[in-house]
Structure 1
Amino acid sequence: MTVAKKPAREKIVDAASRLFYGEGIRAVSVDAIAEKAGVTKNTLYYHFKSKDDLVAEYLTSRDQPNLKLYEKWFGAAVGSVADKTESIFLQVANSARHPKWKGCGFLRTAGELANLPGHPAMKIGADHKKRFESWLAGQYAQVDIGDPESLARQVVLLMDGAFSTMLVHRDPAYAEEAGRAAKALVAAKLMEQRQPSPD
């Protein structure tokens, strides 16, 4: 049985994703991406006008898989939405224990491109983070938590803080601690919702 070959564009994106995530945006050259993909530079430039376009495609390719993973972790967890929220953090902590874990690719890219706010990758990263926040708010709205948008924003702050702190200290316990804080926030909102309103 013959194995179908990947199209050149797919090989280029795969190679760029591995290199950008593993080594950083600025550290990786177009030559290195072409070599890892097993294509010529001409072939690479046929599919992508510039390295900037490749960086944007790298983040775009991570968007939906990452969001679906968060949804899967949330959906598989037992208990209240507070427990389910914490479970995302616990799963992130488990992922961070893998030797090849290098942090959140969206945050790392934003850090490298901080002086280029108009870069297309910055918008892609911001849109990804906002989609996660909106999805969380939707989960909280389903159980009638008051001001679900504000609660989702607080949880996202904890999540991105955990990602950043783990990258500095290389310690997944920070994500676990952030998860406990997120669970407490959500649980407190659930308790508020159950309190009888004053006459």
Structure 2
Amino acid sequence: MPDAQSPTRKRIVDAATRLFYAEGIGRVSVDAVAEEAGLTKRTLYYHFKSKDDLIAAYLDGRDQPNLKRMAGWFDAAEGGADRKVEAIFTNLARAARHPKWKGCGFLRTAAELASMPGHPAVKAGSRHKTNFEKWLAAELSARGVTAPHMLAREIVLLMDGAFSSMLIHHNPDYIRAAGHAAATLVRARISSTQV
């Protein structure tokens, strides 16, 4: 049984991450991942029993780094919860200007696997979105915002809508607009507690 933390496994996941994010999971073969990793296909299959497991590992590997990045943006922002939430969107809009930015890898993968809701990668994407939503609800709750769980879900809907619009328009203004809407929702919840 291969070690889940082995350097070879990490090399394969890193190679898959570069290729899957840049080109999409359907356009990248296992052969291409093995070549990118500088390994044989046999070695790849020693560490992953299928391409599906490799795709799930790719998304699982993006979960914590993405959450940490967004939490960092939130924590670094000055002001109340509204400004902190908006800072996540502002930084996403800035990241979206980079030529290698391809949108949300979790949503893009889920779209490619829309007819396979039980796929391990779809489940990995669902876990990531749920983790973000729970983290955000906890942050909002800690700042005294009313109905933090519903508000976190509304913000996730704005974020995912912005990501979807970016796939069509390639214009970061959609992310900034979603951030403005999210901040407005947060302010409305804060105002309702002060009445």
TM-score (norm: length of structure 1): 0.94
Which residue of 2 is the match for residue 169 of structure 1? 169
What are the equivalent positions in structure 2 for 1:13-162 lying under 5 Å apart? 13-162=13-162
Which residue of 1 is the match for residue 182 of structure 2? 182
DSSP-derived class of the 1:78 partner: coil
DSSP-derived class of the 1:98 partner: coil
Q: State which structure, 1 or 2, has the greater radius of gyration over its C-alpha atoms.
A: 1
Counterpart CA distance in 2 for 1:183 and 1:144 is: 15
Following TM superposition, by how much is the alpha carbon of 1:143 offset from its aligned partner in structure 2, in angstroms? 1.9
Counterpart CA distance in 2 for 1:179 and 1:118 is: 31
Counterpart CA distance in 2 for 1:142 and 1:122 is: 30
Aligned structure 1 segments of 4 or more residues deviating by more than 6 angstroms: none
Counterpart CA distance in 1 for 2:140 and 2:44 is: 44
Could you tell me the percent identity over the aligned residues?
60
Gaps of 5+ in 1: 1-5
- Kindly provide the amino acid, as one letter, of the partner of residue 101 in structure 1: W
Residues 116-160 of structure 1, C-alpha deviation per residue, up to 9 Å, x if partnerless?
011011111001101101111111111222211111111110000
Counterpart CA distance in 2 for 1:191 and 1:70 is: 25
Following TM superposition, by how much is the alpha carbon of 1:52 offset from its aligned partner in structure 2, in angstroms? 0.5
Following TM superposition, by how much is the alpha carbon of 1:7 offset from its aligned partner in structure 2, in angstroms? 2.4
Q: CA RMSD in A?
A: 0.9
Counterpart CA distance in 2 for 1:153 and 1:77 is: 21
DSSP-derived class of the 2:18 partner: helix
Counterpart CA distance in 2 for 1:164 and 1:16 is: 23
- Kindly provide the amino acid, as one letter, of the partner of residue 67 in structure 1: L
- Kindly provide the amino acid, as one letter, of the partner of residue 108 in structure 2: R
Gaps of 5+ in 2: 1-5
